[in-house]
Amino acid sequence: MQKLVIEGGHQLNGEVRISGAKNAALPIMCASILTEDELHLSNLPDMHDVTTMIKLLQQMGVAVESGEQEARFNGAALDKQEAPYDMVKTMRAAILVLGPLLTRFGVARVSLPGGCAIGSRPVDLHIKGLIAMGAEIHIEHGYIHATAKRLKGARICFDLISVTGTENLMMAAVLADGTTVLENAAREPEVVDLANCLTAMGANIEGAGSDKITIVGVDKLHGASYSVMPDRIESGTFLVAAAATGGCITLTHARADILDSVLDKLREAGATVEVSGDRIRLEMTGRPRAVNLRTAPYPAFPTDMQAQFMALNAIAEGSSIVVETIFENRFMHVQELQRLGAQIDIEGNTAVIQGCATLDGATVM
């Protein structure tokens, strides 16, 4: 059984190079399906999901040459427009091949994703959007079967903000006939990064980063070289770890402009934060102050940073309230923090934390 053995009571100090963002890398890798030319990606994170996505693309017929933090993708020989269950069940982002396959080849067969431990992530928004663009879709034996002679531009308004839904339909729209408008679109930086890569490949996209994205379809995309954005969640996690232990840390190859809500909360907690170019320096010289937070879609406080701040609040001075609005099961870490002595009460989607001076070591999972 894999495990981490951690000895507490030490400040975390030093310098860390931030990796490429997984949530940007995965959809950008899927963009390689959209062209028969080579797509060269750099700053890819060394993560299991990236390796799995490479295997899925190779299984479809995409030629992949991998190096250190980079890879070259060539979809000229792609001949299998299918994402099987054994791939999708381990990586929900595999649903992102649906739009690219359908818009380039006119056919796609993609397994429905399995359950998610932290909450529901329905794919019906993807399906409704593709149907609005003229696709014929039916679900059979756990697979989405989609066909279309050529997708047509459409105006699509999302019932709920969906990052992967926005990304899938944006990729589908780049080769569609006419103009597609995505209303109530996700504004996350990872969506913008995908749009920037697609633009480098010849796509016509405006409004990425706002809640209205307009895509004018083109006949074909070409190859490109693109560097994946830094991971804002990895950045925030290191900063919170240093703040919780009273340390001093410098992040390199980071982006402060996509971390505003996190940096504001760290300053509120008592940390000194300085930004210079792609470097972020944090120093905490005392016990953190408790901070209230409420998760919401970007540019508000990210749900992926909620657990880290919960740990910070557990040893902070004072009491705090954390409200989770994105996923219904995202307090699974609370029971483990309580095993360490954290004083946390849960009521629905709200956690009330009373900070302790110290926590005790314990076995957790």
| Residue 206: CA count within 13 A, CB half-sphere | 5
Residue 276 neighbours by CB under 8 Å, 6+ apart: none
**In the annotation, is 116 catalytic?**
yes
Q: In what order do the strands lie in the sheet with 136-140?
A: 82-83, 107-111, 143-147, 136-140
Coil, strand, or helix at residue 363?
A: coil
Residue 325 CA to residue 331 CA, distance in Å, equals 11
Cα distance from N-terminal residue to C-terminal residue, the chain: 11
Q: Which among 30, 116, 157, 248 is annotated as catalytic?
A: 116
Residue 191 neighbours by CB under 8 Å, 6+ apart: 163, 166, 167, 170, 185, 208, 209
User: For 150, phi and psi rounded to 5 degrees?
Assistant: -155, 130
Q: Which residues of 73-95 are buried (b: 16+ CB within 10 A; e: fewer)?
A: bbbeebeebbbebebbeebbbbb
**Residues labelled catalytic:** 116
